[in-house]
């Protein structure tokens, strides 16, 4: 089981990694004007109840991303991955939550969707906390 503290520690680490990556990219390409879009919108950490492994994910396009089978089925039951539903402003499959859960499901084979644990979700550019969106609540109804 990942404790709430471990999940928060992991997502704090993720914010630092993302900020470092953006800084390095900007230093490597000083001629390119830096943009807010250099940052992923959100990061979140994910673990599961019967294991110790914790992974983090960032929001990004789900196009060309192959989700773990059980998670893919969950997402596709809502709408085609990569499309928008009227209930939510976010593109289905683009949030940090499914990307973090995907890491858990692929790397911790004993994990199940109904025992996932998420940290709070943060915007790494500002470190501000954001609420889980409708797509994520509908994808992980047992845990969000």
Binding site for Zn ion (CB under 5 A): 95, 133, 135-136
What's the min distance (Å) between Cβ of 135 and Zn ion?
5
Query: 123 with 45: CB under 8 angstroms?
Result: no
Residue nearest to Zn ion (CB): 95
Query: 55 with 45: CB under 8 angstroms?
Result: yes
What's the min distance (Å) between Cβ of 133 and Zn ion?
3
Residue 104 CB burial class (10 angstroms; 0-12, 13-18, ≥19) = buried
Complex with Zn ion: residue 10 or 94, whichever CB lies closer:
94
Complex with Zn ion: residue 20 or 141, whichever CB lies closer:
141
What's the min distance (Å) between Cβ of 94 and Zn ion?
8
C-alpha Rg value of the chain to the nearest Å? 15
What's the min distance (Å) between Cβ of 82 and Zn ion?
14
Complex with Zn ion: residue 95 or 103, whichever CB lies closer:
95
User: Could you give the CA distance from residue 105 to residue 69 in angstroms, rounded to a whole number?
Assistant: 9
Complex with Zn ion: residue 15 or 95, whichever CB lies closer:
95
Report residue 104 CA to chain centroid gap: 11
Q: Which residues pair with 117 in a beta bridge?
A: 47
């Amino acid at each position: 089981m990942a404790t709430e503290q471990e999940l928060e520690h992991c997502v704090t680490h993720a914010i630092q990694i993302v900020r470092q990556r953006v800084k390095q990219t900007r230093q490597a390409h000083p001629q390119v004007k830096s943009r807010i879009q250099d940052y992923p919108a959100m990061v979140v950490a994910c673990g599961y109840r019967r294991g110790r492994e914790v992974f983090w994910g960032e929001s990004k396009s789900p196009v060309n991303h192959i989700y773990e089978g059980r998670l893919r089925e969950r997402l596709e039951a809502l709408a085609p991955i990569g499309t928008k539903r009227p209930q939510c402003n976010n593109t289905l499959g683009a949030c940090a939550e499914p990307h973090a859960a995907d890491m858990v499901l692929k790397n911790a084979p004993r994990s199940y969707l109904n025992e996932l644990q998420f940290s709070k979700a943060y915007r790494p550019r500002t470190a501000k906390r954001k609420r889980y969106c409708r797509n994520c609540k509908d994808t992980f109804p047992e845990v969000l």
